[in-house]
Chain A
Amino acid sequence: DTGVSQDPRHKITKRGQNVTFRCDPISEHNRLYWYRQTLGQGPEFLTYFQNEAQLEKSRLLSDRFSAERPKGSFSTLEIQRTEQGDSAMYLCASSFRGVQETQYFGPGTRLLVL
């Protein structure tokens, strides 16, 4: 078990550019979550998938954000027309649906929008 991985670990972009992040969950996990964490704050929920279905989206997820999980394996989070306020750490977590469900986090992608 290699854990949750995310790529890239760091991304610097200019305002107005599009960026895409990837998350590879723990292989047997059927749920995948995206969170956003700004400096000095706790992570905030963005969206989650069960298999390939996107089941919930936060109101934090504006129209510029889109997430996919084709085939129920890895997931991508795309931000279009980035703004300076998008600068944050984007965390991915995965879990196996059930009463004892526990989320395991990846190392995150730190985004800086100039």
Chain B
Amino acid sequence: AQTVTQSQPEMSVQEAETVTLSCTYDTSESDYYLFWYKQPPSRQMILVIRQEAYKQQNATENRFSVNFQKAAKSFSLKISDSQLGDAAMYFCAYRGGLTANSKLTFGKGITLSVRP
């Protein structure tokens, strides 16, 4: 079974600074997808960024980028120029590559606070 581990329960960053959230996963599959989702307090979960395992290039979305290390099974999220609105819980998630196996497996999440 696939597992996703987020070992840091909380992190804090100064506004305008950069922060990196860590995630590791375990799988025996060679084809899969990885995601970071953001869940603001009392608001719905939204997709931040996705990475296909077959792509060597790290995904980027504006201020958000990932460091995908397939051999190490590591998938960290870097947030640049942090803003107050980035404060939320962040979840790392895994999905198998077969379209018949589409459920997401989530980590426990990390609470990010942004200091003004």
Q: A-side interface residues toward B, CB under 8 Å? A: 31, 33, 35, 40-45, 48, 55-56, 91, 93, 95, 97-99, 101-108
Contact mask for chain B residues 75-116; partner A; CB cutoff 8 A; 1 contact, 0 none: 000000000000000010101000110111111110000000
Q: Which of B43, B100, B102, B106 contacts A42 (CB 8 A)?
A: B106
Interface residue? B47 (CB, 8 A): yes
Q: Which of A31, A45, A102, A107 contacts B50 (CB 8 A)?
A: A102
17 A-B pairs (CB sep. < 8 Å): A33-B104, A42-B4, A42-B106, A42-B109, A43-B104, A43-B106, A44-B106, A48-B103, A55-B100, A95-B102, A98-B99, A99-B99, A101-B99, A105-B44, A105-B45, A105-B46, A107-B44
Q: Say which size band chain B's interface belongs to.
A: 20 to 34
Q: How far is the CA of A73 from the CA of B105 in the complex (A)?
A: 24
Which residues of B are found within 8 Å of A40, using beta-carbon distances? 108-109
Query: In the complex, what's the smallest C-beta–C-beta distance from A114 to chain B, in angstroms?
Result: 21
Q: How far is the CA of A41 from the CA of B106 in the complex (A)?
A: 9
Asked if residues B91 and A33 are in contact (CB atoms below 8 Å), the reply is no
